[in-house]
Amino acid sequence: MQAGLKGLASGLVVLGATVIAAPAMAADWDAKISNPKPAAGDVTLPMPCGGAMVFRTVAVPADGPLGDTRVMLGGGDPARGSLEGVHPEYIAGSFSDGKSQRTYLIGKYEVTQAQYEAVMADTPEACPKVAMPKRLPQTDIGWFDAVRFTERYSVWLRKNAGKAVPKEGDETAYIRLPTEAEWEYAARGGASVSPADFGERIFAMPDGMAKYVWFAGTQSANGKPQLTGLLTPGPLGIHDMLGNVDEMVLEPFRLNKLGRSHGQAGGYVVRGGNYLTGEQDIRTALRQEVPYFDDAGVRKSKTTGFRVVAAVPSLTSAAQLKAVQQAWEKLGATSATDDRPGVQLGKQAETPIEDLAVLAKAAPDPEMKKRLEQVQASLRADLALRDEQRDRAARTALRMGAFLGQKLADDGKWVDRLRSLYESQKAADPNSDRTKDYQAKVQENQKALDDNLRYYADTVIRIAEDYGDDTLKRQKELLATEMKNLGLAHLVPYLDRHTGHVLGYRDDHKVSRQKWLDDYVKM
């Protein structure tokens, strides 16, 4: 996309009733200003005044038009439970691969002074003179200023950037502040880290926090904001999400009330800590409320900046709307049509949901009709939740099967190697201590292999009995995506083989332990 920065004509940007001439595209900025740490996977969008903004792709495993991922956000400190208590959130990106993954784009760096001035410039003459100090994050602005920046940049992109801007369906991407869930999901490492690492206080920093975060003290920020991109990025290749400057998010602050948000919407939220935050206080869950206004007017802070995301509306085309409606109608109702082997439904109605719909339609009393419809909606919600829990359990079971398959492959090959050495030694000297030692090792390792193979067979049988074909196939695709995001693509063939064993057992009900082991050993 870097080539898209050149030769873009200036246009007219319409903001409300005001028509503003977009600053002309001058020579491209030096990469040291717009992308000081280039990396594979960077997505670059042009900006006014010859500038550029770089994004990173955040992947979210999700299938279907209503697919999303449940994550646990927040921290475990009881003293800050009302502010940061652990709570579930659901997240899905704007852009779909049409199969098992959605993505969104988040700024690789905090918005810099150069980028802010370029977007807010009204004329070509107002374009910033770009120099290294302009790579400092833009601070000392209010939340509404940040939102105004995203508005102007979005309009400019649509008028000037053409095909450089991502699309989904019929909709072109626009720029906005990230939601809290999007911000924290990306800061923790998203799908690129294991669930255990995702829940840690901070992402793994093997070289020490000072290599990744600007915090208070002479060994780090020393009381000043720092140029963006100087330190090592987080797991997704994103710089300075923790420390340097606080970052504003889209929605207003809400207190935490034991796993759910409190009903009052307050000021705006800043995340991540800043260059005056102590090292011991840096954490991914850190969130603070800031009033939109103070006695001087708009509340501003020299320690607060922002980064942006590129996103699209939820409904991007007429076809997407239809797909969403069809998926919504299946929520809950599909759970009643259990796809487990051997489960049969009665002949009176296809599902309990449809049964309730028939009763509600036939009810002569309007109040009774209303109550039946409420029961139907409540049951659908409960069944949809059960579906999600079932799907997560199926994915966990398949993951275990894949890991067991890899273990069987390694152990089976090792036992074969030991047995070969034993046979060679036995042929050379059948009564030697070394021959007896090899024999003992073969027996010991064979017993462990047999135990693991027995456990694997139990796993195959339980999965085959607990989950239907449709559930297994959908969750296998999602799990394969998760594994690739985690850098575990080498496990996908084991997942494929394990799922094949489950479906094969479903067909013939034969516990083929030796065949299953041979399948793995020969991989």
Q: What is the pLDDT of residues 364-383, one digit of tens each?
A: 888 887 877 787 778 778 77
Sequence-distant (≥ 6) Cβ neighbours of residue 370 within 8 angstroms: none
Confidence (pLDDT) at 340: 54
- The pair of three-digit structure tokens given for residue 199, joined into one six-digit string: 């829940």
For 374-409, letters b (16+ CB in 10 Å) and e give eebeebbeebbeebeebbeebbebbbebbebbbbbb
Adjacent-strand bridge partners of 61: 101
Mean pLDDT of the chain: 88
- Range list of H helices, 288-365: 318-330, 333-336, 352-362
pLDDT at 346 over 60: no
Confidence (pLDDT) at 429: 92
List, in order of start, the domains of the chain with CATH numbers.
Answer: 2-318 (3.90.1580.10), 319-384 (no CATH), 386-521 (no CATH)
For 424, phi then psi, to 5°, come to -65, -45
Please return the burial class of 327, using the count of CB atoms within 10 Å of its CB with bins 0-12, 13-18 and 19+: middle
Spatial separation of the C-alpha atoms in residues 302 and 321, rounded to whole Å = 43
Q: Which residue has the higher pLDDT, 367 or 233?
A: 233
Q: Which residue has the higher pLDDT, 384 or 303?
A: 303
pLDDT at 117 over 60: yes
The DSSP secondary-structure symbol of 135 reads G
For 105, phi then psi, to 5°, come to -105, 130
Least confident range from 117-126, 265-274, 344-353, 368-377: namely 344-353
Angle at the Cα of 93 (from 119 to 483), degrees rounded to 5? 130
pTM assigned to the model: 0.78
Amino acid at 145: D
Least confident range from 10-24, 75-89, 146-160, 182-196: namely 10-24
In angstroms, the Cα distances linking 129 to 26, 133, 140 are 11, 10, 20
